[in-house]
């Protein structure tokens, strides 16, 4: 790909954010290489070739890898070495990761290599972009990376198609790369010195799961505030704990934002006004402490987002090629900088589910004017009892996923690589917790929509009434038992595809209500 005025993002030059990464992956932004990027890519590749010609020993260029770093490789074999590293390191097992995450891996790797410190050929980078632009995405097994010395196994599978091996998702089917190339009239790339190592040394597997987690967790945080406010209204809770004066005395940014959002979500509510002098002194913690609990999870999310965006613009190859005479062998491939915040975010996401389950339970108790189990005729009907069983099961499953993968390390490469991050597991695990969280929030939303109708003819705020009506497009009020799994899946779909949060935010914006001001502003796509 040459310089192109239609390119909106320049690999290796522009600053990559989570939002831009997702926009490129979804085809909303066209990305490629401008003249400056091409210049730095070619200069770096020439530096590697100069090293080979000079016979100066540099790790990975003319030596073996890992424990074999002291094994010299002849100039004639340097290209063969790169071909073999992709073959030998393709040891991933398990199910394939999603094509979206694999596509993000391609994007983030192209950006890192295009910075010009890795010595790859322009043609190699152009082929990577060809895969992205043509939606021919390599098949990458989910397991096999220990998150240090790079995500070696998954990145090897990601780039096997460059040399005509492996498999790709092609027109919706899993197809051997050789068949894809035959149909597309494409031939394999001839890798040059160091290229195989540059392709597989890096954190792009961990990073891509982090990118998705940042997007998905933000959506869950937004949804949790809206749904929690609906539950509070259904239970005739008070908005007093969200007073700005209270949170100014303990000014954590996440807490203050959640309190502000809850105030806005609940303003001008007839339900709130109807019980202002009811004499109830305090609500249970799962209602009263939403700013503290949701807010703490917001802070964890922001920490993950900030570190993810540093990594998105980092060079995680080894060795780093500064010039033909200046190379550095280091540890930029080590996944620990992301492994720790991914584990932290995992706890934070699990806690969102934990407090949501408690609110589901409150809705079923038959207190404060609501019927037991949210149905008038129970006994013959079980009402909303059993959906809460599901939230309890999912919350417990999430607890089992909260053991921090980064707390463990198993030596590899005969002790040369004696401390590894396990960040690849942290990233996958966080996204599993988010899978469960989306269902937990869906069940609370389904229950809150049922409960709020027992407050009629009183109305909640305009925003929460819109949120209720939006869900009623998918599921109706339950007069009696039915297959609630169908309802749960329909509501969960609106959370998983971001449509619920986006619709509520758009409605609020139309009312000139800014639910996000100055902290954590993020377009979930």
Rounded to an integer, what distance in angstroms lies between the CA atom of residue 154 and that of residue 508?
42
CA–CA distance, 395 with 97 (Å, rounded to integer): 24
> Residue written as tokens 């609106």?
494
Contacts of 161 (CB under 8 A, 6+ apart): 131, 136, 138, 167, 168, 177, 180
519 carries an active-site annotation: no
For residue 337, cis peptide bond before it (omega within 30 degrees of 0) = no
The secondary element (H helix, E strand) that includes residue 403 is none
Q: Which of 221, 237, 18, 208 is nearest to 99 (CA)?
A: 208
User: 92-128: string of b/e by CB count within 10 Å (b at 16+)?
Assistant: beeebbbbebbbbbbbbbbbbbbbbbbbbbbebbbbb
- β-pairing, 141-143 vs 93-96, is antiparallel
Q: Which of 59, 170, 344, 439 is catalytic?
A: 59
CA distance 206 to 105: 9
Q: How far is CA 42 from CA 121, 282, 298, 395, 433, in A?
A: 7, 67, 42, 51, 43
CA distance 88 to 82: 10
Strand pairing of 31-32 and 137-138? unpaired
What is the sign, positive or negative, of the torsion defined by CA atoms of 282, 288, 289, 291? Answer: negative
Catalytic residue list: 59
């Amino acid at each position: 790909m040459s310089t192109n005025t239609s390119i909106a993002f320049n690999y290796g030059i522009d600053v990559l954010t989570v939002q831009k990464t997702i926009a490129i992956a979804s085809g909303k932004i066209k990305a490629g290489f401008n003249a400056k990027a091409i210049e730095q890519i070619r200069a770096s590749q020439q530096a590697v070739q100069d090293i080979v010609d000079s016979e100066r020993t540099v790790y990975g260029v003319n030596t073996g890898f890992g424990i074999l770093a002291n094994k010299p490789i002849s100039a004639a074999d340097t290209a063969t070495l790169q071909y073999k590293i992709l073959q030998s390191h393709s040891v991933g097992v398990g199910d394939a990761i999603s094509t979206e995450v694999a596509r993000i891996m391609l994007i983030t790797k192209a950006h890192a290599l295009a910075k010009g410190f890795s010595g790859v050929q322009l043609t190699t980078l152009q082929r990577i972009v060809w895969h992205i632009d043509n939606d021919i995405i390599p098949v990458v097994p989910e397991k096999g990376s220990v998150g240090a010395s790079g995500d070696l196994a998954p990145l090897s599978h990601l780039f096997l198609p460059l040399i005509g091996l492996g498999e790709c998702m092609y027109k919706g089917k899993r197809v051997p790369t050789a068949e894809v190339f035959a149909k597309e009239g494409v031939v394999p790339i001839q890798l040059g010195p160091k290229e195989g190592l540059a392709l597989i040394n890096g954190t792009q597997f961990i990073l891509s799961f982090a990118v998705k987690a940042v997007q998905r967790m933000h959506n869950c945080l937004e949804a949790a505030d809206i749904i929690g406010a609906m539950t509070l209204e259904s239970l005739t809770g008070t908005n007093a704990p969200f007073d700005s004066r209270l949170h100014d005395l303990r000014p954590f940014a996440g807490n203050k934002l959640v309190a502000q959002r809850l105030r806005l979500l609940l303003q001008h509510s007839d339900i709130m006004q109807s019980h202002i002098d009811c004499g109830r002194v305090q609500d249970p913690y799962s209602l009263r402490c939403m700013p503290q609990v949701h807010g703490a999870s917001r802070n964890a999310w922001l920490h993950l987002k900030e570190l993810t965006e540093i990594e998105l613009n980092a060079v995680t190859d080894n060795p780093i090629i500064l010039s033909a005479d200046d190379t550095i062998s280091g540890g930029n491939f080590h996944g620990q900088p992301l492994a720790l915040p991914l584990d932290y975010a995992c706890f934070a996401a699990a806690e969102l589910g934990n407090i949501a389950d408690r609110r589901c339970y409150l809705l079923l108790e038959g207190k404060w004017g609501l019927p037991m189990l949210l149905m008038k005729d129970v006994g013959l009907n079980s009402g909303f009892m059993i959906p809460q069983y599901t939230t309890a099961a999912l919350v417990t499953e999430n607890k089992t996923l909260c053991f921090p993968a980064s707390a463990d390390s198993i030596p590899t490469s005969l002790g040369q690589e004696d401390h590894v991050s396990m960040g690849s597991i942290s990233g996958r695990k966080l996204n599993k917790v988010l899978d469960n969280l989306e269902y937990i929030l869906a069940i609370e939303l389904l229950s809150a929509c049922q409960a709020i109708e027992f407050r009629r003819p009183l109305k909640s705020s305009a925003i929460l009434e819109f949120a209720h009506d939006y869900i009623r497009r998918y599921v109706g009020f339950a007069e009696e038992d039915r297959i609630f799994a169908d309802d749960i899946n329909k509501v969960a779909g609106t959370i998983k595809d971001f449509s619920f949060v986006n619709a509520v935010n758009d409605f609020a914006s139309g009312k000139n209500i800014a639910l996000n001001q100055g902290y954590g502003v993020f377009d979930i796509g």
